[in-house]
Homo-oligomer: A and B are copies of this chain.
Amino acid sequence: MTASEKIWTAGLVVIGDEILSGRTHDKNIAQVASWLQVQGIRLSEVRVVPDVMERIVEAVNALREGYDYLFTTGGIGPTHDDITVDAVAQALGVNVIVHPEAREMLENYYSSRDMELTEARLRMARVPEGAELIPNRMSGAPGIKYGKVHLMAGVPHITAGMLDALTGTLEGGAPLLTETVGCWTAESEVADVLREVEKAHQNCQIGSYPFFREGRVGANFVVRSTSEDNLRSAVDTLCEALGEEGFDFTPGGI
Contacts and interface: CB of A to CB of B under 8 A. Distances in A.
Interface of A: 14, 16-27, 29-37, 42-51, 55, 77-81, 115, 118-121, 123-124, 155, 176, 178, 186-189, 191-192, 194-195, 198, 205-210, 222, 224
Contacts of A208: 77, 79, 81
Contacts of A32: 22
B55 A178 contact: no
Contacts of A120: 188-189, 191-192
B121 A188 contact: yes
Contacts of A121: 188
B47 A21 contact: no
29 contacts: A18-B209, A19-B33, A20-B33, A20-B45, A21-B176, A22-B29, A22-B33, A22-B37, A22-B43, A25-B29, A26-B26, A26-B30, A29-B48, A44-B50, A46-B46, A46-B48, A48-B48, A79-B187, A79-B188, A79-B191, A79-B194, A79-B195, A79-B208, A80-B195, A80-B198, A81-B208, A118-B188, A123-B191, A155-B210
Nearest to A20: B43
A39 to B, nearest CB: 12
Contacts of A16: 207
A129 B49 CA distance: 32
A191 B222 CA distance: 46
Contacts of A49: 45
A198 B51 CA distance: 14
A17 B205 CA distance: 10
A21 B116 CA distance: 42
A35 B22 CA distance: 8
A189 B116 CA distance: 9
Given A44-B50, A79-B194, A187-B79, A222 B22 contact: no
Contacts of A123: 191
Nearest to A106: B188
Given A45-B55, A80-B191, A120-B188, 18 more contacts: A16-B207, A19-B33, A20-B33, A21-B33, A21-B224, A22-B31, A23-B222, A24-B209, A26-B30, A44-B50, A46-B47, A46-B48, A77-B208, A77-B210, A78-B191, A80-B198, A120-B191, A121-B188
A17 B47 CA distance: 15
